[in-house]
Amino acid sequence: MWSKRVFVISMVVLLLLAQSSVLFSEGYSTLTGIVKGIHVHGFKKWLEVEGTRDKAVVDFRIGRNTRYNPRLPAAGERVRVEYLTNRGVPVAYSVTILEGTRKGSK
């Protein structure tokens, strides 16, 4: 009887902790910029984007879970990247190509 109470209380506490971490987790960060290139290192793919505000170049980890709207961007296109930082590495979750984005296009 006592062990059932301890088990139920511990499960409730674990459930509350799990939900609070989901509720208080930070949302996606966004960066808008120009694609400088896509690089492959071993089995990892990286999207290199130069930010429009500070001209800083950021390498985003991309992969099979990354959503591309409408397609994988090419160098010189303007994009908006939604990402989270995982273990110090920015991981792109969504890459959206913005309208009229090719360099040299009118």
Residue 79 confidence (pLDDT) above 70 = yes
Residue found under tokens 């591309």: 68
Helix (H) or strand (E) holding 13: helix 2-23
Higher pLDDT, 11 or 49: 49
Would you give the distance in Å from CA 2 to the centre of its chain?
45
Query: Alpha-carbon distance 65 to 52, whole Å?
Result: 25
Residue 23 confidence (pLDDT) above 70 = no
Higher pLDDT, 1 or 41: 41
Kindly report the pTM of this predicted structure. Answer: 0.69
* pLDDT score for 101: 52
pLDDT winner (highest mean) among 4-18, 28-42, 89-103: 28-42
Domains of the chain: 29-97 (2.40.50.320)
